[in-house]
Amino acid sequence: MKILNLKKMNYICNCKKENFFDKNYTYWEDRKVTNDELNIINFLIKSNNFKYKSILHIGIGNSYFANNFYKDSKITGITISQKEIDKAKSYNLSNYDFFLCDKYSKEFNIFTNKNKFDLIVDNNLKSYSCCQESFEFMMDGIIESMNDKGMLITSINGMKWFKKLKPKFSFTLKKLFHFKLKEINGNELNILTINELKDLSKKHNLKIFFDNKLCYLVK
Ligand SMILES: C[S@@+](CC[C@H](N)C(=O)[O-])C[C@H]1O[C@@H](n2cnc3c(N)ncnc32)[C@H](O)[C@@H]1O
């Protein structure tokens, strides 16, 4: 699999964008894995026959997910934070590739058109999108990259996020002067409703399932 190494992304829309790739931004690498992702991990661990040989993890955070599954699966992860990449590297896990990429970009769409996965994990599918057009473009791409019987899994709580990230220059005693991605509230239209996900699953001919706090689509 060819891993991208890009400093600037291109988009299908004309929305004004921050460039997250020009500095070593810190974001989630030292924060605790979210409960939303923990629910997904527990669900996968409990599933009777874990059969996902290739996994795409969108939003690697502190790489807790990869640490749980790298022995059984080949994991490819993406993030928009260079410090999350550095953290991922520090684990030196076999079967774990990761790269900087905006999931709403044309480059990510090319990547998903060229690669196939048994499982795609993203607990904040829509939260960070700039517009509906880019969100649907990203969804078309990841659904295209699902293998037959492949699964896309997300968190119902994570669907309610509508955060936006703003680059900031900051200071803390631990990190001294550093660049960080600060979360601010974004567009409420980025709350992904169950109905919207149902419509997407219909459009792409996928089966949709709900399990307590999770939602998953199967090809
Ligand atoms: C709130 S953190 C959650 C991290 C981890 N998934 C968890 O649940 O603990 C959101 C993650 O999504 C990633 N992310 C945010 N916007 C993104 C985008 N446009 N493209 C790719 N990754 C993105 C961040 O870098 C971060 O890894």
Q: Is residue 16 in a domain?
A: no
Q: Looking at ligand 1, which residue's alpha carbon is closest to its atom 22? A: 79
Those residues with Cβ within 8 angstroms of residue 113's Cβ, 6 or more apart along the chain or in another chain: 141, 144, 145
Q: How many domains does the chain have?
A: 1
Q: Is residue 115 in a domain?
A: yes
- Tell how far the Cα of 46 is from the centroid of ligand 1, in angstroms: 24
For residue 133 the two structure tokens come to 């057009």
Q: Is residue 9 in a domain?
A: no
Range(s) of the domain holding residue 165: 35-218
Q: What is the pLDDT of residue 164?
A: 93
b/e string for 99-116 if b means 16 or more Cβ within 10 A? bbbbbbbebbbebbeeee
- Tell how far the Cα of 100 is from the centroid of ligand 1, in angstroms: 11
pLDDT per position as a tens digit, 3-29: 566 678 999 999 999 999 989 999 999
Q: Is residue 73 in a domain?
A: yes
CATH of the domain at 187: 3.40.50.150
* Token pair 């964008």 in the structure block, residue: 17
Q: Is residue 10 in a domain?
A: no
- Tell how far the Cα of 81 is from the centroid of ligand 1, in angstroms: 8
Q: What is the pLDDT of residue 82?
A: 96
Q: Is residue 208 in a domain?
A: yes
Q: What is the pLDDT of residue 191?
A: 97
Report how far residue 197's alpha carbon sits from residue 49's, in angstroms, rounded to the nearest whole number. Answer: 26
- Residues in the chain predicted with pLDDT less than 50, given as ranges, are none
Q: What is the pLDDT of residue 20?
A: 92
Q: What is the pLDDT of residue 2?
A: 52
Pocket of ligand 1 (CB under 6 A): 27-28, 33-34, 36-37, 58-61, 78-81, 84, 102-104, 123-124, 128
pLDDT per position as a tens digit, 130-149: 999 999 999 999 999 999 99
Q: Is residue 159 in a domain?
A: yes
Q: What is the pLDDT of residue 176?
A: 93
Report how far residue 65's alpha carbon sits from residue 188's, in angstroms, rounded to the nearest whole number. Answer: 28
Q: What is the pLDDT of residue 50?
A: 79
- Tell how far the Cα of 59 is from the centroid of ligand 1, in angstroms: 3
Q: What is the pLDDT of residue 8?
A: 81
The preferred substitution site among 27, 65, 101 for testing ligand 1, maximizing ligand atoms within 8 Å of CB, is 27
Q: Is residue 214 in a domain?
A: yes
